[in-house]
Amino acid sequence: MTTIFDINYIVFTIWGYPLSFIELIGTIFGYLTVYYAIKAKILTWPSGMLSEIMLFALFFQIQLYSDMFLQVFYFFVSIYGWYFWRKKANGPIRIRAMSTKKRLITALIYGGGTIILGLIMSNIHIWFPTVFTKPASFAYADAFTTVGGIIGTFLMARRLIENWIIWALLDVVSTLLYFSKDVYFLSLQYFVFCIMAVWGFYNWYQLKRNNA
């Protein structure tokens, strides 16, 4: 029996592309999450949590396991971000920037984390064959977006402006990755996210300058 969390539970077909319920809802709330983040609105966190639940189910079914685990991380960091932003809600919005040293450390963590996670996901179907019956697709590209998502979410939760640079990088890779997996609606979303990341950086830069 097909459930709403099954990728074959099709809501409608658009231009010949069968759109599943989980991809539709995950995408809609994904847009809302980024929009609220650009505006530095606390609604970005609960909106993101709903998107993450849907995308967790989607990525498992298309063998993007790093992205699947990333949704779990997103979910719990969303709780943290929600709490942190709510705690600071009574004061002015303070956008900060990282030091050069911290940017370098972040870049090294990004590269090292991608290599390590890529190795793990390349072998996960061997280590846990009963759960992951198929090999991971594009293990290192998937790892790149996953590690970037972890770093970007943490920086966003701390209101560090560099989070938008991370998002722009992984959005480019994600656009190509999801297109390669024939998840076209989600691929289009991440193409739009590339543009929104630039908008987000600009908007946060203005907020940072106004509160300097």
Q: What is the pLDDT of residue 160?
A: 93
3: in domain = no
**Residue 183 confidence (pLDDT):** 79
For residues 50 and 60, give the distance between their C-alpha atoms in angstroms, rounded to a whole number.
16
Question: Phi-psi region for residue 182, left (φ > 0), alpha (ψ -120 to 50) or beta?
Answer: left
Does residue 2 form part of some domain?
no
**Residues 173, 175, 181: CA angle, nearest 5 degrees:** 100
Mean pLDDT of 101-105: 96
Q: Please state the domain count of the chain.
A: 1
Residue type, 94: R
H-state helical runs in the chain: 21-38, 44-61, 65-87, 100-127, 139-157, 163-180, 184-210
Domain assignment present for residue 183? The answer is: yes
> Rounded to an integer, what is the distance from CA 55 to the centroid of its chain?
10
* 1 part of a folded domain: no
Tokens describing residue 212: 């300097």
Within a domain: 154:
yes
Does residue 5 sit within a domain? Answer: no
The predicted structure's pLDDT at residue 102 = 95
pLDDT tens digits along 119-149: 998 998 899 888 888 888 889 998 999 899 8
The reported pLDDT for the residue numbered 156 is: 87
Mean pLDDT for the chain?
Answer: 87
Hey, what's the torsion of the CAs at 196, 201, 202, 208, to 10 degrees? 140
Structural domain including 49 reads 10-210
